[in-house]
Amino acid sequence: MEAKTPLLSQKEQEVVSQLCKGLTNEQIAAKLNLSVNTIKTHLKHIYKKYRVHSRSELIVTILKNA
């Protein structure tokens, strides 16, 4: 049985893309022209959708589903 990949908004996809490149919240915020708090909110929603609790767990989960 294959795990479903959660649907992410366009902005969430952009955040995940930058996160996978190893950027910090501050770097992602600057690159996407958003506040650090907005990035944290996007990450909170992404973690919930993927049912993970950390950046590393998210990246591992994404790589497993790729």
Give mean pLDDT, residues 24-52: 97
pLDDT of residue 14: 97
- Which one has a higher pLDDT value, 52 or 1? 52
pLDDT of residue 65: 83
DSSP per residue, 27-53: HHHHHHT--HHHHHHHHHHHHHHHT-S
pTM summary value: 0.88
Which DSSP state fits 12?
Answer: H
pLDDT of residue 42: 97
- Which one has a higher pLDDT value, 54 or 3? 54
Domains of the chain: 10-65 (1.10.10.10)
